[in-house]
Amino acid sequence: EASCKPDQFHCANGKCIPESWKCNTMDECGDNSDEELCVQPNPSAFFSFQPCAFNQFPCLSRYTRVYTCLPESLKCDGSIDCQDLGDEIDCDVPTCGEWLRNFYGTFSSPNYPDFYPPGSNCTWLIDTGDHRKVILRFMDFKLDGTGYGDYVKVYDGLEENPRRLLRVLTAFDSRAPVAVVSSSGQLRIHFYADKINAARGFNVTYQVDGFCLPWEIPCGGNWGCYTEQQRCDGYWHCPNGRDELNCSNCQEDEFPCSRNGACYPRSDRCNYQNRCPNGSDEKNCFFCQPGNFHCKNNRCVFESWVCDAQDDCGDGSDEESCPVIVPTRVITAAVIGSLICGLLLVIALGCTCKLYSLRMFERRSFETQLSRVEAELLRREAPPSYGQLIAQGLIPPVEDFPVCSGNQ
């Protein structure tokens, strides 16, 4: 079982945290053991105290959870002593930030790993003087999410240009390592904290792509770096897998699923078939086996799944730049739909004809002798015209009629 340093608290799950993090109402251990057996504050105790001396102020200690009087010298000293942050609120926040010009280095929020002062407003500028990309890694990250919300903004370049904003980190990104990569050798990091609450803050490393930090081990070539803690942990931190080679439990050219776990051959690496119970053989895939597609989030999926209108990668990269082709299932649905519509039209026409036939039949069924006579009268031919009567000799032409003169 791992032992902790004298100034650290040993969690029930074996984790070590700074002693100052115990009983601060935050689960730093992950199993809440650092918040157990803590003295609960008694609000009424505050009013039972005698007034503090003129050079003291009342404070609910964040360490003992008991109201006490602290010297004025502890106000605005950059270190949070009171549970309600009363000793560090409305203080002139010291300037923070730095201009970093090395190929690699580290920086952190004010007072890290203790709470940063409320109202912090810091800017770090990284200018390596090299055209190669800069890799920025937030190794530990914990921001407060109450109030107006604290945040960290990372810009590509030295200017605070919204169009070159690479990432905005908030309390939602806490406890998850985050990496940001620039397009050149310059980055701007801006940290803002409101005056309502505070948290542990963050610790950051940066390095020019291809360079390793002093405590890191090179993967070889331009494959990046890894730490001793990442050696044989079951996850590829080197694209060539060098950090997972020659582990004690595995044979040559085999890789471990985890520390002291099962092993798998190189041919089973990143083929979208889980060989490890924890799926580590399909994580951090820098390359994929033949017949697989490499997603932007370093996952591998079958090539046949590319451009199938389904997000198989999880980041949509398998559906990008796809030709506009109507899927077969859409065409099939359209054909079936048109056939159904045609069939319905034929049925409708048949029903119309049948209805017309029935109506005519009913009409003939109710005909009487009188109605037939009426129909015959309506159907009788019109009388012959004047020309037809002359032609048939039934009447004489006009010129054959006698004409009376004026003398007669």
**Domain locations in the chain as residue ranges:** 8-74, 97-208
Task: List, in sequence order, the alpha helices (H) in 12-104.
Answer: 43-48
CB distance 255 to 263 below 8 Å? yes
3-state SS, residue 408: coil
Question: Can you give the pLDDT at residue 243?
Answer: 84
- What pLDDT score does 206 carry? 93
Answer CATH for 8-74 from 4.10.400.10, 3.40.30.10, 3.30.9.10, 3.30.10.20:
4.10.400.10
Task: State the pLDDT at residue 294.
Answer: 83
Kindly tell me the sign of the dihedral angle through the C-alpha atoms of 82, 87, 90, 91.
Answer: negative
Structure tokens at 181: 């990569």
pLDDT for position 46: 44
Low-confidence ranges of the chain (pLDDT < 70): 1-2, 24-25, 37-50, 63-65, 78, 84, 89-90, 92-95, 147-148, 175-176, 260, 324-328, 361-382, 386, 394-395, 397-408
Is the preceding omega at residue 113 within 30 degrees of 0, hence cis? Answer: yes
Q: Are strands 97-100 and 121-127 parallel, antiparallel or unpaired?
A: parallel
* Bridge partners (DSSP) listed for residue 254: 265
Q: Which helix (H) or strand (E) segment is 178 a member of?
A: strand 178-181
Q: What percent of the chain has pLDDT over 90?
A: 13
Which residue matches tokens 């919204």? 162
pLDDT attached to residue 209: 85
In DSSP terms, 98 is beta-bridged to 124
Rg (CA), the chain: 45
Closest to 19 measured CA to CA, from 58, 49, 63, 61: 63
The fold of the 97-208 domain, in CATH, is Jelly Rolls (2.60.120)
Give the closest residue to 149 by CA, choosing from 192, 101, 120. Answer: 192
Looking at residue 105, what is its pLDDT? 92
Burial label for 198, CB within 10 Å (0-12, 13-18, 19+), is buried
Q: Say if strands 254-256 and 263-265 run parallel, antiparallel, or are unpaired.
A: antiparallel
Residue partners of 356: CB distance under 8 A and separation at least 6: none
Predicted local distance difference test score (pLDDT) of residue 47: 47
Question: What does pTM read for this prediction?
Answer: 0.47
- Spatial distance between the Cα atoms of 168 and 159, rounded to a whole number of angstroms: 15
Q: How far apart are CA 121 and CA 91, in angstroms?
A: 13
